[in-house]
Amino acid sequence: MITRYGYDNFTLLIVVGALLLAFGLWSSVFLLSPMLALLGLVIISFALVFFRDPVRVVPKEAETNDAILISPADGKVVQIVPVQESRLIGGKAIQISIFLSPVNVHVNRVPASGTVVFTEYNPGKFRMAFDHMASEVNEQSIIGVRNSRGAVVFKQITGFLARRIVYELKPGDVVKAGDKFGMMKFGSRMDIIVPESTEILVQQGQTVTGGVTLLGRLL
């Protein structure tokens, strides 16, 4: 299945890829024809991989327990560090950062059930997403969710290639852990910021799956 958040880009890439493939197959230009056909196949393959939206089964525990946090994205945990969070948590917190490569699924999911308290979009730079400074200076959306067990702040952060953030949440929305809410296009990073008391269930270097992997428990 192709994500609805990427229909525009997906359609464009498929059309461009198909035109290059067709020209390459039917053109008689020596050497150039197979190169164009190969480029068309690469573009089509990339579109199918990048904009895929596989079915995910959210753990039952996350559906029934507000304390459970699940991964909002596919990728690799590149950082787990103490931070200060003033918008919603109001003090000491822990930040879990996930790096998404261009081949990861880029559909994003809500990490915790609750009510959306705020959404914020900040334009910024386009550092490499694995650079930890990206959390502070890159273009990003910031979303806060509160529930009966506490509060969670999460960020969609662009990388060097990712130049567009899509999200459809707004203050007052009631969400469930695992709900799809947007995507980041072409390589990016997600930060999840939780209270300092949270029990963290992942480790740096671990590969996580959006909507499936348990990140932690609010205590």
For residue range 28-70, list pLDDT tens digits in order: 766 778 889 999 999 999 999 989 999 999 999 998 999 999 9
Q: Please check whether residues 92 and 21 belong to one and the same domain.
A: no
Q: 63-85 pLDDT, tens per residue?
A: 899 999 999 999 999 999 999 99
Contact assessment for residue 178 and residue 112, using Cβ atoms and an 8 Å cutoff: no
Active-site residue identified among 71, 97, 113, 188: 188
| Alpha-carbon gap, residue 206 to 5, rounded angstroms | 27
Q: What pLDDT sits at residue 163?
A: 59
Whether residues 102 and 162 share a domain: the answer is yes
What are the pLDDT digits (tens) for 170-179?
A: 999 999 999 9
The whole domain housing 64 covers 60-217
Instruction: Report long-range pairs for 167-172 (Cβ below 8 Å, ≥24 apart).
Output: 167/108, 167/119, 167/141, 167/143, 169/110, 169/116, 169/119, 169/143, 170/116, 170/119, 171/116, 171/117, 171/118, 171/119, 172/115, 172/116
Of 74, 70, 59, 62, the closest CA to residue 207 belongs to 74
Cα separations in angstroms, 112 against 36, 122, 145, 186: 46, 22, 7, 25
Structural domain count of the chain: 2
Same domain membership, residue 181 and residue 114 = yes
Residues 122 and 197 in one domain: yes
Question: Do 211 and 178 form a contact (C-beta atoms < 8 A)?
Answer: yes
Q: Is residue 160 pLDDT above 90, yes or no?
A: no
Q: What is the pLDDT of residue 11?
A: 95
Query: What CATH number is given to the structural domain containing 150?
Result: 2.70.70
Kindly state whether residues 74 and 151 are assigned to the same domain. yes
188 in catalytic set: yes
Nearest to 162 by CA among 192, 190, 132, 193: 190
Do 135 and 195 belong to one domain? yes
Does some domain include residue 45?
yes
Please indicate, yes or no, whether residues 41 and 146 belong to a single structural domain of this protein. no
Q: Identify whether residues 28 and 66 lie together within a single domain.
A: no
| Predicted pLDDT at 145 | 98
Summarize pLDDT for 113-129 with one digit per residue, the tens: 999 999 999 886 666 55
Within a domain: 55: no
Is the overall model pTM greater than 0.85, yes or no? Answer: yes
pLDDT in tens, 9-18: 899 999 999 9
Q: Is the domain of 96 the same as that of 123?
A: yes
Give yes or no: residues 76 and 29 share one domain.
no
Residues 169-204: b if buried by 16+ CB within 10 A, e if exposed: beeebebebbbbbbbbbbbbbbbbbbbeebeeebee
Percent of the chain with pLDDT over 90: 71
Does residue 208 fall inside a structural domain? yes
Look at residue 27 and tell me if it is in a domain. yes
Residue at 84 is within a domain: yes
Q: Dump pLDDT digits (tens) for 132-154.
A: 666 766 788 999 999 999 999 99
Statement to judge: residues 90 and 43 lie in one domain? no
